[in-house]
Structure 1
Amino acid sequence: MDAARSIFRPEFMNRVDEYIVFQPLDREQISCIVRLQLERVQKRIADQKMKIQVSDAAVQLLGSLGYDPNYGARPVKRVIQQNVENELAKGILRGEFKDEDTILIDTEVKAFSNG
């Protein structure tokens, strides 16, 4: 609040009805957000009868790449899109990932067949 008061004029501060101060997300919260975003990816590829398995190391890596205390969880979505979704799409287009495959997302993306 003191920072806002030092930047904005008192006339503006008096017009604001409510103040909400956000605390920065910690790494554990970022990991939870990574898992939620990866569940969204799973739902999208389920139409092609594919599954993803995600290792804890991958969650930690994606969380580290997407961690920015200034921007919260916004970078996480971009990191997952660039490092997971784009790689999955490339693998599907190249024919590396097929129907019924389970794709392991670790620090690398690999496919293994269920059968």
Structure 2
Amino acid sequence: LALDDTAAAWLADKGYDPVYGARPLKRVIQKDLVDPIARKLLAGEIEDGSVIAVSAGAEGLEIGKARVH
């Protein structure tokens, strides 16, 4: 997984709550990163041994095409 600075900043922003601190971060990572990657794996869009590029865009996290190593 190759997470660029924009994606890391997006996760930090969405995963932080002034009342709860970073507790919501786990849910944000699951919903916006892990679940979409799992769907791509199941659909065959990501191959075994791939590096997945993640960045942030206007609509949220963008999971890029994988590179096979």
Q: TM-score, normalized by length of structure 1?
A: 0.53
Helix, strand or coil at the partner of 1:111: coil
- The aligned runs of 1:30-109 (5 Å cut-off) are 52-107=1-56, 108-109=62-63
Identity of aligned residues (%): 38
When the two chains are superposed, the root-mean-square deviation of aligned CA atoms in Å is 1.1
**Residue aligning to 1:113:** 67
Q: CA deviation at 1:59?
A: 0.5
The separation in 2 between residues aligned to 1:64 and 1:73, in whole angstroms, is: 10
Report deviation, 1:111. 2.4
Deviation at 1:54, TM superposition (A): 0.4
Residue of structure 1 in register with 2:59 after alignment: none
Q: If the length of structure 2 is used for normalisation, what is the TM-score?
A: 0.85
Q: Residues 101 and 111 of structure 1 are in contact (CA less than 8 Å); yes or no, is this contact kept in structure 2?
A: no
Letter in 2 for 1:112: A
Quote the Cα distance in structure 1 between the aligned partners of 2:65 and 2:3.
Answer: 12
Count matched residues.
Answer: 64
Report the Cα distance in structure 2 between the residues aligned to 1:83 and 1:101, rounded to whole angstroms.
19
Report which structure shows greater RCO (CA 8 Å, sep ≥6): 2
Higher strand share: 2
Contact 2:47 2:66 in 1 (8 A): no
Q: Secondary structure at the match of 2:9?
A: helix
Deviating runs (4+, > 4 A) in structure 1?
A: none
Q: Distance in 2 between matches of 1:111 and 1:84?
A: 14
